[in-house]
Structure 1
Amino acid sequence: MPIDATLPYDDQNIFAKILRGEIPSTRVYEDEWAIAFHDIAPQAPQHILVIPRGAYVSWDDFSARGSDAEIAGFVRAVGAVARQAGMVADGYRLLANIGQDAGQVVPHLHVHVFAGQPLGPMLART
């Protein structure tokens, strides 16, 4: 169920539990700013989630409250994940859902990194 991205951070969300090691994940990248792991329900041949270590609900929350170092570190981590996974040559897509209308389900900022096939148009036409 989509969430309201303006709500306070819920430290019981699944990504907070993954960060604390309470739920296992297949990590493919980790540094002081972010971790990345395979999505458990991939939507493309390559589908990796990148999450900041800080308690941020959405991109809006992160850009308003994150420190310059956190923001730079997270953005660099997303790029490092794509390079490390070999996605750059053929191309990849980044997706961050923010709020109910965008379909955000987990109230912790996360970026989906998709690759491995032609990904089609940006949005389905209605």
Structure 2
Amino acid sequence: MSLNAAYDPQNVFARILRGELPSVRVWEDDAVLVFMDVFPQSEGHMLVISKTSQAQTLLGVEPEVLARLATVSQRAARAAVAALGCDGVSLMQFNGTAGGQTVFHLHFHVIPRWADRRMAGHGEAGMADPAVLAPIAARLAAAF
């Protein structure tokens, strides 16, 4: 997808926000939703998205939305360290097909990392069972 394409209201994250698709939620407020990635690259892999913006990429997001997403991504990283005892955290964000983006609704990946565990490639481990993600999400939510 081009960096300048029109927003598709049928993208998977828009459908999650409307309640049309399930998600394992970690935390939310009026502006931001944090939920578990169903194709986790590591235990506790979270996604941070805006509930108010239709920006597809970092290039088109409103500055105040970006500031809020960055603040919540930091909180998610801190929650991962506190709840899961990870050794590090990767924050990833992709823009456009050529940049690796697969869902065209601006989002940040917050991926807990451990020194002795290999991080899987996106989709490499397959789709996670929501029943497995739910207790991890509860631990993360408690640390939020």
Q: 2:104 aligns with which of 81, 102, 107?
A: 107
1:57-81 residue CA offsets vs partner (Å, 9 max, x unmatched):
011111xxx152x222221111111
Q: 2:79 aligns with which of 81, 84, 100?
A: 84
For normalisation by structure 1, the TM-score amounts to 0.80
- Structure with higher helix content: 2
CA RMSD between the two structures: 2.0
> Which aligned segments of 4 or more residues in structure 1 are displaced greater than 6 angstroms?
none
Q: Secondary structure at the match of 1:86?
A: helix
Gaps of 5+ in 2: 119-144
For 2:34 and 2:25, the matched residues in 1 are separated by: 6
Shift of 1:89: 6.6
What percent identity do the matched residue pairs reach? 36
For 1:8 and 1:41, the matched residues in 2 are separated by: 26
Gaps of 5+ in 1: 121-126
Q: Which amino acid aligns with 2:90?
A: R
For normalisation by structure 2, the TM-score amounts to 0.71
Q: 1:117 aligns with which of 96, 103, 114?
A: 114
Q: How many residues are paired up?
A: 114
State the partner residue of 2:39.
Answer: 41
